[in-house]
A = this chain, B = another copy of it.
Amino acid sequence: MFGSYTIKDIAKALGLSTSTVSRALNGSYEIGAETKKLVLEYAEKVNYRPNPIALSLKEQKSHSIGVVVCEVANNYFSQAINGIESIAYNSGYHVIITQTHESAAREATNVQHLLSRHVDGLLVSLSASTTDLAPYQYLHDKGFPIVFFDRVAEQVNTHKITANNFKGAFEATEHLINTGHTKIAHITNSKNLLISVERVAGYKAALEKYNIPFLPEYIKHCDHGGMILDEVEMAVHELLNLPERPDALISTSDRLTTTCLPVIRKMGLKIPNDLAMAGFTNSDVAESFNPPLTVVRQPAFQMGQLATELLIKTIESKHPIYEYSNQQVDTELIIRESSLK
């Protein structure tokens, strides 16, 4: 800290050796009750705090965990980070957050950076453009703790926390069908992401259940997940200029959902009359939208917590772990006006 006391200061002040002080502070058995008390009281008095850097160097542990997400300024991820912090904080870990901005190159750099900072483990949500999972596989093979959350690497067999994306998309699609829609378009994130694949699968399954033919042209992938307006604009335009214009749209990515709305409005279409809408988003203000938006909400905070608990458990485990948790949490469908006929 700042002019903070070291073990050496205490030792000198008390006429003891540093090792004795260290032992007293760490509640070792091999120490006299008197000495221990003396040290403890003095340490308390001067507000002694061990230097975490020295500890890290000694223990070869940094007590920090690295987080890789696409963006902090995103409803889902800011809430997830909130969950991550809440657990990490209480466990004495600090959190280093890095953003990929959906760039695979940036993601690789970030991982490098975090490793060079000697983080004890990694909490990763893949970027939309990541295809090379080898670095994660390599680290994992070497026993380095990694937990994926939300956007997981299917091929890497390690801990994963995901939302039930299939079910989330299924329910939203089914709901749109139940409200009388049959021409349901789907706008989603990059094909690289398993979440997209799962959400598309859920969508297809719902169509199938109700014997609605699946039309490939009704699906658009925005590879930048809504971060590039033009991409979304083009996708929405193409969808809504189809000869058989969709009567409903499901968007299955947080940023995509919020970006779609103004585009649709600018086209002069009214939701839900011209186009019903339901979307994945963790926005807290979906209720205030025009019209209030039907959403699929992920338990972001809880997912952050679960992932972090898992990671810390892995980090602190004495024995290598070969059983990988693959926990799936449920999404929540919140029905509002945007999806009603």
Contact = CB atoms under 8 A, between A and B. Distances in A.
Contacts of A289: 285, 288-290
Nearest to A56: B53
Interface stretch (A9-17, A36-44, A114-122): A114-122
Which residue, A3, A4, A49, A291, has most C-beta atoms of chain B within 10 A? A49
A2 to B, nearest CB: 5
Given A139-B2, A261-B288, A288-B289, A117 B97 contact: no
A85 B57 contact: no
Interface in A65-88: 71-75, 78-79, 81-82, 85
A71 B51 CA distance: 27
B142 A2 contact: yes
A89 interface: yes
Interface of chain A: mostly helix, strand, loop or mixed: mixed
A290 B285 CA distance: 11
Given A118-B52, A142-B3, A289-B290, A82 B89 contact: no
B287 A288 contact: no
A82 B99 contact: yes
A242 interface: no
Interface size class of A (residues with CB under 8 A): 35 or more
Contacts of A85: 72, 97-99
Interface string A91-104: 00011111100000
B62 A73 contact: no
A262 B144 CA distance: 46
A54 interface: yes
A215 interface: no
A18 interface: no
A81 B89 contact: no
Contacts of A288: 258, 261-262, 265, 289-290
A33 interface: no
Contacts of A51: 57, 118
Contact of A118 (B1, B57, B291): B1
Contacts of A4: 115-116
A182 interface: no
A49 B116 CA distance: 6
B1 A116 contact: yes
Contacts of A115: 1-2, 4, 49
A331 to B, nearest CB: 18
A284 B285 CA distance: 11
Nearest to A293: B288
Residue from A52, A73, A89, A117 having most chain B Cβ neighbours under 10 A: A73
A198 B113 CA distance: 41
Q: Closest 10 CB pairs between A and B?
A: A290-B290, A73-B78, A49-B116, A261-B288, A1-B115, A53-B56, A78-B78, A94-B96, A258-B285, A53-B57
